[in-house]
Structure 1
Amino acid sequence: MGNNTATAAAVDLGRGLRLKSPVLLASGTVSYGEELSRLTDLSKIGGIVTKAISLEPRAGNPPQRIAETPSGMINAIGLANVGIERFISEKLPFLRTLGTSVVVNIAGRSIDEYAEVVSRLDALEGLDGYEINLSCPNVKGECMIMGVSPDATREIVTELRTVTKRHLMVKLTPNVTSISAIALAAESAGADSVSLINTLVGMAIDWKNRRPLLRNVTGGLSGPAIKPVALAKVWEVAGAVSIPIVGMGGIASFDDAMEFLVAGASAVQIGTMNFVEPDIGERVATRMEEFFGAPGAPSMQEFRKSLVTG
């Protein structure tokens, strides 16, 4: 379970998800924490969001499934994961030792699958909440369908709310006409927070050979290139919902993270930059603690959503 030691930058996202720092590491970029723990002190950050877990193991999409793009990367991993059985037996024991909050990203092919995964995890100790992945842009015919419909979002969150009393964070896609409508649907159904944005749909081409760089053709664009879009979506959703927002998308520095807080996020997730600077989460968390702990500094509550637009 997370270490809830009081700090100047601590944030309470509700329903038991109390973070010592607003800095989380994003799903899909830290696996289940083991590799990264050799390169940085994960107990210094607010928490990690695990790689997606589904009911059955998944191999994901065939390679090539990652390509570098200007100021970012594009991936079509396809939710490859060990499945719930191996997660419980092989990954959860280590996660319990981290001294930080653990949020499990959940994926599925149907509402029943989501509910079964959450139900099985809910009986176990050592977890602080779930991030419900309704917005993966590189898995055909699954979570992306649910994540672009307010009605489907409301239906799945309503069902999951009956299954667990733990924190439910719903991950939103920017690949919709109105992200606020999806966020409001999640809130009305009982979500405790929303996280945004997931990756943007994109593609990369080897023009000389007239071939896509990804076997899947399209994938999810992440990294610094998408930060302006992410900030705009966080600001939009902050004006529509009252539940906490966890902002993500292109965060590569302390300054980037602070921009998301000003726009309305209560916490942030760092993703792609973990591949470049494995200790970035620890360094950003340390800077945040220094900032909010300094004499005369604003509180987190005062600082959040303090954008002046007039």
Structure 2
Amino acid sequence: MAGLAVRVAGLTLRHPVMNASGILGSHPEGVKLLVDAGVSAVVTKSFTVEPREGYPTPIAVPLPYGLLNAVGLSNPGIDGISVVVEEARRAGLPVVVSIAGSSEDEFSRLASAAEEAGADAIEVNLSCPHAKGMGREIGIEPRLVYSVVSATASVTRIPVIAKLGYVDRLVEAVGKALEAGARAVTLINTLPAMMIDVYAMKPVLGNLVGGLSGPAIHPVAVRAIYEVYREYRIDIIGAGGVEDWRTAAELVLAGARAVQVGTALVTRGLRVIGEIVQGLERYMEEVGVESIEELVGAAHRD
């Protein structure tokens, strides 16, 4: 597996496949499942300062082309960070703590708590599509992206990763995140979406609006990563519809140095991590490269 080793945002990973935030990363039991699944790093669920119960059910609806969900950033709050980090570090894996807030002060407090708990990096959630006052409402405005990332990076020495969704001014927003001190970006988050029951004649989700993930958003993720890598040649963690080695390879060729798997862990099960890793190994043999680093951004070459 030596040929799959990568460095991203200052982290050394034995292979490029990790979980996406929101999947099994809020409690020790979930972390254990991720470790057993073979992820190269554990990405926690987004933690907020105060505990959040989340939205009323239903919170997730499976679709033929992905998943529609509105969980509501449910998490145990800032005091739950240390327990999750401890479990991941016990397994010897890098741990990336995802944080979400509604003010610079909240992001700063969460970042400090994550570093104190022993996190290896922080992923700043600037793209949740269904939590009012958090996430996407910040990520769509480059000025706010700068303010939040700057506030986060100023209080911690560990790498800060900005997670952004696909927005009209994405390239500009990424630039502001880099100016503010981000070491890498995660692209992309779920897209705002809704489903209506034609017989009940009302939205299906308890929160009405949710985030669309899975295969339906994969081409959007490919484009976002391609555009950002073309502009900045930075460390990118790709997310969005990674279902198998081929979709993972697409994001790498577009410019991602690592990938996150979310919906596929729900729809295909934990085995999907190992399947993607093995598939990438075979793909590297087929195309004749010894290190996956050689494939990062290869789609940009003449």
User: Normalization by structure 1: what TM-score?
Assistant: 0.90
Which residue, 152, 157, 160 being the options, matches 1:165? Answer: 157
Please give the secondary structure, in 2, of the residue aligned with 1:119.
Answer: helix
Aligned to 2:102: 109
Please give the secondary structure, in 2, of the residue aligned with 1:170.
Answer: strand
CA distance in 2, matches of 1:128, 1:24: 14
Matched, 1:247 2:243: no
Please give the secondary structure, in 2, of the residue aligned with 1:67.
Answer: strand
> What is the 5 A alignment of 1:138-149?
138-149=130-141
CA 1:185–1:287 in 2, change beyond 3 Å: closer, same or farther? same
> What is the 5 A alignment of 1:1-16?
7-15=2-10
CA distance in 2, matches of 1:39, 1:113: 28
Matched, 1:61 2:52: no
Matched, 1:133 2:128: no
Equivalent residue letter for 1:34: E
Equivalent residue letter for 2:144: A
Equivalent residue letter for 1:97: R
Task: Flag structure 1 segments of 5+ consecutive residues without an equivalent.
Answer: 1-5
Which residue, 215, 222, 238 being the options, matches 1:231? Answer: 222
Please give the secondary structure, in 2, of the residue aligned with 1:171.
Answer: strand
Q: Work out whether residues 31 and 87 of structure 2, in 8 Å CA contact, stay in contact via their aligned partners in 1.
A: no
Deviations 1:30-81 (A, max 9, x none): 2346236348724x43212111111111111121221122211111111000
Equivalent residue letter for 2:40: G
Task: Flag structure 2 segments of 5+ consecutive residues without an equivalent.
Answer: none
Please give the secondary structure, in 2, of the residue aligned with 1:73.
Answer: strand
What's the offset of the Cα at 1:193?
A: 0.3
Please give the secondary structure, in 2, of the residue aligned with 1:34.
Answer: helix
Aligned to 1:215: 206
What's the offset of the Cα at 1:100?
A: 1.8
Aligned to 2:291: 299
CA distance in 1, matches of 2:91, 2:278: 17
> What is the 5 A alignment of 1:5-154?
7-15=2-10, 17-32=11-26, 34-35=29-30, 37-38=32-33, 41-42=36-37, 44-88=38-82, 90-125=83-118, 127-154=119-146
Deviations 1:167-207 (A, max 9, x none): 11100011x21211111111111100000110011100101
User: Normalization by structure 2: what TM-score?
Assistant: 0.93
Please give the secondary structure, in 2, of the residue aligned with 1:96.
Answer: helix
Aligned to 1:3: none
- Taking only aligned residues, the RMSD between alpha carbons, in angstroms, comes to 2.1
What's the offset of the Cα at 1:92?
A: 3.0
